[in-house]
Every structure is written in C-alpha cells, then in structure tokens.
Structure 1
Amino acid sequence: MKISVDVDCTPEEARRFMGLPDLSSVHDVYLEKMRRTIEDGITPDTLTSMVQSWAPMGEAGMGMWRQLFEQMSGTGKK
C-alpha cells in the first residue's frame, strides 16, 4: 500500500512546522556583506578570505566533504 500526502505551505510555514530556527537575520547580514564587497570591488585577497570563511578547516575540511560525497555517491575508493 502506498499513501501520498501533499502539503501546500510556504517555506516559512514549513520551517516553523519542522521546528527549524529562523535564520533570516543571518541571511540579511550575509547579503549586506556581499553587497558591500561588490560595491567596494572584489580583490583576490577579498575573494580568498571569503572562500576561507566558508571552509573553516581549509583544505582538510574540503577534503572531508569531498570524501563524504564520494562515499554517498558510490564513486569513492573502496
């Protein structure tokens, strides 16, 4: 037996229903920082520091994510 349920709701309603935190203020701060960066002009140093802030553990962190995705997709070494 297969049962399907369709729920028609906004992303905000779904977030509240699932009990997820409201990150809209964090999103607003992030967008403002991106606007300022673009208005000030993106330099290679700015781009490097921004990318490093996205990957706190640097190359080791990126390697960990790569390995995780490879294991999930079945393309990793066995």
Structure 2
Amino acid sequence: MKINVEVDATPEEIRAFLGLPDVAPLQKEMMEDVAKRMREGQQGYESLAMMQPLMQSGVANMDAMQKLFWQAFTQSGSKDDNKK
C-alpha cells in the first residue's frame, strides 16, 4: 500500500502550523549587527578572519576529493591491466 500526501503551503504557513517561532526578525537584526561590526573592523569580524575557517575546510575537502578520484582512477587502471 502506498499513500501520497501533497501539501501546498508556504514555509511561513508550515512554520505556524507546527508551532515554530518566526526567527526572520531576529536573523535580520543579527545580520545587521554583524555587518555593522564588520564595517567598524572590530576584532574577530574582519572579512578574511571570518572566511578563513571556511576556506581551510573547503581546500581540505577538495584535496580529499582529488585523492579519492585519483585512487579510483588508478585502481580501475590496474584492473584493466590484470585482464590483459
């Protein structure tokens, strides 16, 4: 037995239905505060300092992906060599 239920509602309607709070005003206030601190150049809110952790993990992830692909390609090549 298979039952499909389709709900046509906006995210705001679903949030209200589930009783979740509307955090949009809080998010807007926090983003304005972060932008203000970045403009003032407060400690810890410099653009490069905030992006550095993201960049380091991004580079590490790309390196891991390259190693994974390299291993897959070299293993598939060695399998073809064994068949000959």
Bigger Rg, which one: 2
Higher-helix-fraction structure? 2
Please give the range of the TM-score, normalised by the shorter of the 2 chains. 0.3 to 0.5
- Taking structure 2 as the reference length, the TM-score comes to 0.45
